Amino acid sequence: MLALLLTLLGPDLAPSAALAVGHPNSLSASRIDIRGARLVVALEVQVLSLAEVLEGFDEELDGQVTATEIRAAADRIAEYTSAHYRVGARSASGVGGSRVAPTAEPLNGASGPLARLLTPRSIAVSEAPLRAGPFGELEQHVRIDLVYDLPAASTALDVEVDLFGATSPEHRDLCVVVWNGLELEAFDLTSGERRVVQASQAALARGRPAAGRYFRALTGQVRAEWALALFAAVLALGARGPRTGLASVVQLALAASLGLALTRALGVDARFVRFVGLAGPLSLAYVGLDVLVAKEPRGRTLEAWTFGLVLGGWVVHRHLAELARDAATEFHPASQVPAALAGLGLGAAVLCGVGSLAGLVPGGFRRHASRLTGLAALALGVYGFTHVVRA
């Protein structure tokens, strides 16, 4: 019926009528991704929706355009989306903070002005991959990346959308908010609706510099990471003297740091994670048993390098999921992974340094201290191995 009506109206009036009617199942999808003071909105909209609000874009109204047409309309697309997808920031002191006045009028149905309207620092428009529509048909989309600078001390966002409200009043935007790698909320926004998203303390803490955050995660809790300190103590006490022991500990720290980087490069492979989980505690048990049965003190260079690599992998595999989030290069070209690995490496060196202090035990007590630490390493290694096997 609609097609017949448009035909009767004639070619000159048909597009205008289509623009006024809009289309059913008008949808868009957005991801708001915050990392520290950088906020990125990745928005994907249907070509057909854009054609209904931008004159001359997809004149056939069939939902299909070329990449050249998208580039030609990029400025108009950027202007429209930035005006109708608005983000505001709130601080802990209240709406807009005590020093920031509201700067944007509310949309229809909104309870008040945005706390502080953010202006995009840059906008990029590109063709998005084809997506399946609600009935399985392929639809062409345009992607718009809007980059903002988030004000300091921001603890909440106002998200306000009236995309395509004039042509498709029932338009919905499917939105997800990810703050410092933690997904906080996912929701639908209809035209003229606002949503306030409050950052959790966990999300805000993850916005701290990666090196310090990972250093604290490695050294601040008594977990398997402290096996590095015990391993270093066994090497320091089981050597012929303090110098030999210290050399073994330095080699252990270097090998563990290399193991951190190699494990990150290998990625989250289930077989590798399983191997590291089993080999880590076994290496600790081995060096403890070796000290207990050894007749004379000796340096353990081979053990320091071989098992240091394994222990480095054992440490970092606990942080692989978080490292993967920090490496989300699609939204964060300046990846934090190098800084995170530096923090883990520094933490490993500190733990090895703590363990090496055992080498300062006076010579008369070294043999007894060596046996005690060897026994502790053997017990912890066996316990860790059985724990992994049962998991």
Full domain range(s) for residue 160: 14-205
Q: Which of 45-54, 77-86, 270-279 has the highest mean pLDDT?
A: 77-86
What confidence tier does 36 reach under pLDDT thresholds 50, 70, 90? confident
Q: What is the mean pLDDT of residues 62-87?
A: 90
Res 276 pLDDT > 90: no
pLDDT at 82: 92
Strand partners for 138: 132
What confidence tier does 211 reach under pLDDT thresholds 50, 70, 90? confident
pTM to 2 decimals?
A: 0.55
SS3 sequence of 56-117:
CCCCCCCCCCCHHHHHHCHHHHHHHHHHHEEEEEEECCECCCCCCCCCECCCCCCCCCECCE
Which of 205, 225, 242 terminates a domain? The answer is 205
Asked if residue 253 is part of any domain, the answer here is yes
What confidence tier does 221 reach under pLDDT thresholds 50, 70, 90? low
Q: Are residues 117 and 56 in the same domain?
A: yes
Res 17 pLDDT > 70: no
Asked if residue 89 is part of any domain, the answer here is yes
Q: Are residues 222 and 117 in the same domain?
A: no
Taking the CA atoms of the chain, what radius of gyration do you get in angstroms?
30
Mean pLDDT of the chain: 78
Q: What is the mean pLDDT of residues 101-116?
A: 47
Q: Are residues 372 and 269 in the same domain?
A: yes
Asked if residue 134 is part of any domain, the answer here is yes
- By the 8 A CB rule, do 150 and 38 touch? yes
Query: Is the model more confident about 267 or about 370?
Result: 370
What confidence tier does 204 reach under pLDDT thresholds 50, 70, 90? confident
What confidence tier does 94 reach under pLDDT thresholds 50, 70, 90? very low
pLDDT at 21: 56
Distance from C-alpha of 28 to C-alpha of 189, rounded to nearest angstrom: 10
Q: Are residues 357 and 327 in the same domain?
A: yes
Please tell me the least confidently modeled range out of 40-44, 164-168, 239-243.
239-243
Query: Is the model more confident about 306 or about 62?
Result: 306
Distance from C-alpha of 144 to C-alpha of 92, rounded to nearest angstrom: 30
What DSSP character marks residue 296?
S
Q: Are residues 192 and 242 in the same domain?
A: no
Q: Are residues 340 and 327 in the same domain?
A: yes
pLDDT at 206: 73
Q: Are residues 334 and 363 in the same domain?
A: yes
Distance from C-alpha of 211 to C-alpha of 337, rounded to nearest angstrom: 9
Distance from C-alpha of 217 to C-alpha of 347, rounded to nearest angstrom: 9
What DSSP character marks residue 358?
G
Res 85 pLDDT > 90: yes
Asked if residue 8 is part of any domain, the answer here is no
- By the 8 A CB rule, do 276 and 323 touch? no
Distance from C-alpha of 183 to C-alpha of 327, rounded to nearest angstrom: 15
pLDDT at 111: 47
Distance from C-alpha of 85 to C-alpha of 161, rounded to nearest angstrom: 5
Asked if residue 259 is part of any domain, the answer here is yes
Q: Are residues 220 and 331 in the same domain?
A: yes
Q: Are residues 20 and 89 in the same domain?
A: yes
What DSSP character marks residue 256?
H
Which of 173, 205, 237 terminates a domain? The answer is 205
Asked if residue 20 is part of any domain, the answer here is yes
- Say what the alpha-carbon torsion angle 109, 111, 112, 117 is, to the nearest 10 degrees: -70
Q: Is the dihedral of CA 19, 137, 183, 343 positive or negative?
A: negative
Query: Is the model more confident about 148 or about 2?
Result: 148
Asked if residue 9 is part of any domain, the answer here is no
Res 105 pLDDT > 60: no
Neighbours of 163 (CB within 10 A): 26
Res 227 pLDDT > 90: no
Q: Is the dihedral of CA 102, 104, 110, 115 positive or negative?
A: negative
Query: Is the model more confident about 168 or about 265?
Result: 168
What confidence tier does 224 reach under pLDDT thresholds 50, 70, 90? low
pLDDT digits (tens, 9 = 90+) for 140-199: 899 999 999 888 778 888 898 989 888 888 889 999 998 887 888 888 888 778 888 888
Q: Are residues 21 and 151 in the same domain?
A: yes
Strand partners for 148: 39
The total domain count for the chain is 2
Asked if residue 2 is part of any domain, the answer here is no
Q: What is the mean pLDDT of residues 260-266?
A: 75
In 3-state terms, what secondary structure has residue 9? Answer: helix
Collect all residues with Cβ–Cβ distance below 8 Å to 173 and sequence separation of at least 6. 27, 28, 29, 30, 85, 161, 163, 188, 189
Query: Is the model more confident about 88 or about 37?
Result: 88
pLDDT at 18: 41
Q: Are residues 194 and 264 in the same domain?
A: no
- By the 8 A CB rule, do 41 and 22 touch? no
Q: Are residues 176 and 216 in the same domain?
A: no
Which of 153, 179, 205 terminates a domain? The answer is 205
Q: What is the mean pLDDT of residues 273-286?
A: 84
Q: What is the mean pLDDT of residues 26-55?
A: 89
